[in-house]
Amino acid sequence: MKNKDNLISVNSLHYFNAHTRSAEDIVNTFIARRSVLKELEDGVLSEPKNSIPQHYMIIGSRGMGKSTLLRRLEISIRSERFRDKFVPILFPEEQYNIDRLSKFWLNSLDALADSLEIEQKHDEADQIDAIIRDMDSVSNEERLTEMAYDALMEICKKMGRRAVFLLDNIDILFEGISPDEQFKLRKVITENGAPIFIAASTNNPAESQDYDAAFYDAFDNIYLERLSQIEMRELLLYLAERTGEDKSFEAIYEKTGQLDALHNLTGGNPRIAVFMFHLIANGLSDKIFENLNALLDVITPLYKANFEQLSKQAQVIVDALALNWDPSDLDTLSRATRLENNQLSSQLERLIKQGWVERGNRFSVEKNKMLGKVKNYAVRERFFNIWYIMRRASRRQRGDLKSLTCFLETFYTPQHLDIEKQRIIQLLRENLDSDRITYALALSKAFNKGKYNQMEEEIYREVLSKTKGDLGEISKYLDPDIIPHEVLADFMSGNTDLLFDYIQILMEKGEYQKLEKLLLCMIDMEKFSDSAYLNVKLGQVYKELDNISQAEKHYATALDIDPEDAWAHSHMARLKEELGKLDEAETNYVKAAGLSDDPFYPWLLAEFYLKNGKEEKGEEILKEVVELHPKYVHAINSLAFYYMSGTKLDKAIDMLQRVVDLGDAPADAYYFLGRCQWSEKSGDALDNFAAAVQLAPDAANYWFYLGLCQREKGQVEQAQISYEKAIELEPDNVDYVAGYGRFLAACKEDFQKAAKVFYRAIEIKPSAKLYLQLAASVSVLARHEEAVWAFKKAISLKKDYAEAYAGLAMHQEIFLKQIDPALKNYRKALKLDPEQDEVWYFYGNLLQYKIGDFKEARLAYEKSISIAEPDIDVIDDYVILLRDRIGLREEAFAIFEQHQQLFSRDGFSRGLQQALFALYDHNLGDAKKHWMTALKFEGEISEGRLEALWRAAATASQLGFTDTLALVFEESGKDRELRPVYEAIKALIAGSTDYFLNIAPEVADTAMQLYVQMKNYQEMGGH
């Protein structure tokens, strides 16, 4: 009878993080590796007091128990047998912060303090913390290294205890310090009385195995081999005993074959063994596939996290190795990964070092011998390989099938496979089950080494029989694509409706090679040897495969079988038309049209005539078809398109209106009638688009044009619904997405959303125009760097895009202050399209205000004015140039007077211009009056007006009006509203920026900027 007090919980059997678990937990669950623990304990105890110590390197792949072993050893060293002579220093698994030897010894002191804290020696631990703090001021690395190590040794000497370092993942330490420091570390740990190092690594580091390396022969290597089958079973039995899981004893004994198979796949990994015990404790299933899936699900977080830590290139290599399953040589890997051999070699070395990959010899079948230089590479942990195949395969059924087949090849002997396959076939006959089918297929492949076989065919026939060949039903159990075409053809030969449906599905999916094999197989059957339909279908397949001669051959065969087959004639006609044999094509089109009452064939003939220069014939046939079949959509559409493209909208409207007036018209008739009316701005296009949408609510183009029409009618909210519906139906239609973006920007002023929509449109199909529209939206959002990027992308797609160059120049000048690039791009834009009046205006402003080229600026303004009726901004800046920069005051005044109608609507601009003209005439009274008029505006001042204001103030200051101007601001009350401008004027009066010392900082900063701008403007000079 077991003592229940000594039992441990199944849930306490942890998988990871040995460092965070309690000592009691570690001791109770430490089962594997007890012999290795004893070896290390004996080795430590046998060290003489002042010896040159023996160091140990524990080497094993992930999950082999390295971390747990070090933690268990730490607990032993704290026990009574050790504690008087030794003190354990256990490091965390990763010491990523160590990039020099001084940090290692400082970390060691810190770890020693932690160790003493565990022993309740708080004073000693505090003293070590103080020692570490005292070293903070030491900057010399060599001195700091020496001090830290000496401090460690002195503390251990005072305690009379030798330090035993327990270093997990020591390769991280080796990689972190320089080769020179590695040799220094080697020197101190091979001196009398040095600390004992017991390290762990997933592989034997190069630093300890290369002859010229620092730690060559410094460690006694202890390899944690994979547990044998017996050891794993013993481990599981011991776990069952320790947890009191009596039922697990029976499972372990009864399922020995399964457990041994799982051992082969898990590679004797103790961590996986603990995973397995959880499954056993919860009941081992009779279905091997369920056991496998359950184990894979439990271990997924570990494998996924480990795999994601690899570099992208390393992931690609592991992916290729895992999916290949069998060992691969470098050439095979290179083809699978598209990496060069030298890239592969360096990555493989790293993966071997990390424990992911193992290297072995390669046998040449051709030469019947081992190859010396050529090596094989495989995923080291086979259970990871199974997991990866299962999770990585593109289709679930294929992934399950491959992984399970690999599993079963390992799991069963041939005799067991034979017995098991008979059992599973019988179970399938009783009831279909997707896991059972996967298992059965895997069994058949495992038994026949992956080759197609009678059992596999029997499985497929059973599935087809039970589902009656319904593809939807078949898909519930397996991927229909894996059923061989011979089996499908044979089964479907008894149900032509089912066969024709399947052919159509394959056509729609574009699986032409598969369909070719199926159709050839069908035609070879006596029942279908004279099928015109199957020959036409095969001709279609060959046409899609660009095998034109075979396509023509099978169309001809179909016509030989049935010369009156209109469908065969139409396909031959289209082929002849594509080959340029128009007379032969016309003959076949005419025959097809005469052999059937179906309007489809005369419509095809009409289309042929319209495309090949016989428009009148085509029009007459289409009119006749529409007359006889007023609901035949193809003919209505073709005739409408013909009329619309030929600017015969009145004919299109008459024809479509007659179709609609007959009643019960197809949706396309309403749609095209709406299109024609919308283009002509006649009738009620909106009602017709709405009718089309009602009849065919899944037609995206109907919704889009309804949205366009609603937008034009000012029905903004309804338009948005229509745009969004169109995109919902066709999310990858770039015209719909881009149109919605333009709508959002223009009608909703939702530039944030518009930008996102334009990005989506660009993702679908990039174009220069879309990048320009994106630039416009992000510009409004003040995302100017992004706008510049978008303009440049537009230019990269369309080198002569004048509008993009102009937009780029404006943003570079105005927002990014990049004057030289802006100048260059303005000139490029104007060279490409010299009729851009607005661009000439912006170019003139750059020349006048940023560069000081007044002569060129005058030409730019005059060019802008000559192209289009100017607005007030152009005239305003042109007058400033003539009067203030060039000195042509009379000409400037004449221009100003000529455009009084413009200025009469803007008291601000008119007031500033009149004030400056008065100053030039030395009429201070009028100048003050006009300044007062200009400052009478209400509300906040715009950025453009602020710029005009400070420029006018700068000019007024040059004309001796500064003091009076300050009074004008005070009298108008603008000294408070526009305080930064006012203070900048006061600074001009003071003649020094020191004036701003008396001004509040939040005002002074802006005022200073304005002052500098005004001074620069004055210094640019002019006449």
Q: Is the pLDDT of residue 4 over 80?
A: no
Q: Please state, in angstroms and rounded to a whole number, the distance separating the CA atoms of residues 347 and 314.
A: 6
pLDDT band (50, 70, 90) for residue 654: confident
pLDDT computed for residue 282 by the predictor: 61
pLDDT at 855: 95
3-class secondary structure per residue, 660-696: HHCCCCCHHHHHHHHHHHHHHCCCCHHHHHHHHHHHC
d(C-alpha 703, C-alpha 708), whole Å: 9
The residue-averaged pLDDT of 448-467 equals 71
Determine the average pLDDT of the residues in 254-271.
64
pLDDT of residue 40: 95
Q: What is the mean pLDDT of residues 424-434?
A: 68
d(CA 742, CA 755): 10
Query: Residue for token digits 């016509």?
Result: 559
Confidence of residue 645 (pLDDT cuts 50, 70, 90): confident
pLDDT of residue 279: 63
Residue with tokens 């004027």: 985
Helix axes 768-780, 784-797, angle to 10 degrees: 170
Contact by Cβ (8 Å): 84, 161: yes
- Residue 399's pLDDT is 45
Domains of the chain: 33-226 (3.40.50.300), 484-596 (1.25.40.10)
The confidence score (pLDDT) of residue 961 equals: 92
Average pLDDT, the chain: 85
- Give the per-residue pLDDT at 1: 40
End-to-end CA, the chain: 114
Per residue in 47-61, pLDDT tens? Answer: 998 899 999 999 887
User: Residues 48-74, buried b or exposed e (16+ Cβ, 10 A)?
Assistant: eeeeebebbbbbbbbbbbbbbbbbbbb
pLDDT (mean) for 688-708: 94
Q: Which of the four pLDDT bands, split at 50, 70 and 90, describes residue 833?
A: very high
CA distances from 831 to 101, 802, 805 (A): 65, 8, 10
Match 């040095």 to its residue by tokens. 194
Q: Are 660 and 670 in contact (CB under 8 A)?
A: yes
Structure confidence at residue 473 (pLDDT): 79
What pLDDT is stored for residue 175 in this prediction? 85
pLDDT digits (tens, 9 = 90+) for 296-351: 777 777 778 778 878 889 999 999 998 887 788 888 899 989 888 888 888 998 88
> Higher-confidence residue: 448 or 599?
599
Would you say residue 229 has pLDDT above 90? Answer: no
For residue range 746-761, what is the model confidence (pLDDT) as tens digits? Answer: 999 999 999 999 999 9
For residue 438, pLDDT beyond 80: no
Residue whose entry in the numeric block shows the structure tokens 């900063």: 1005
Q: Is the pTM for the entire model greater than 0.85?
A: no
- pLDDT of 411 strictly over 60: no
Lowest mean pLDDT among 154-163, 208-217, 596-605, 971-980: 208-217
Q: Single out the residue of 617, 568, 632 nearest to residue 596, CA to CA.
A: 568
For residue 539, give the 3-state DSSP assignment.
helix
Exposure pattern of 122-161 as b/e (b: 16+ CB <10 Å)? eebbeebeebbeebeeeeeeeebbbbbbebbbebbeeeeb
User: Can you give the pLDDT at residue 95?
Assistant: 60
396: pLDDT confidence band, cut at 50, 70 and 90?
very low
Evaluate if residue 1023 carries a pLDDT over 60: no
Candidate from 248-257, 481-490, 551-560, 832-841 with smallest mean pLDDT: 248-257
Arithmetic mean of pLDDT, 469-491: 75
Q: What is the DSSP string of 569-638?
A: HHHHHHHHHHTT-HHHHHHHHHHHHHH---THHHHHHHHHHHHTT-HHHHHHHHHHHHHH-TT-HHHHHH
Give the pLDDT band of residue 661 (cuts 50, 70, 90): confident
Lowest mean pLDDT among 48-57, 102-111, 202-211, 437-446: 437-446
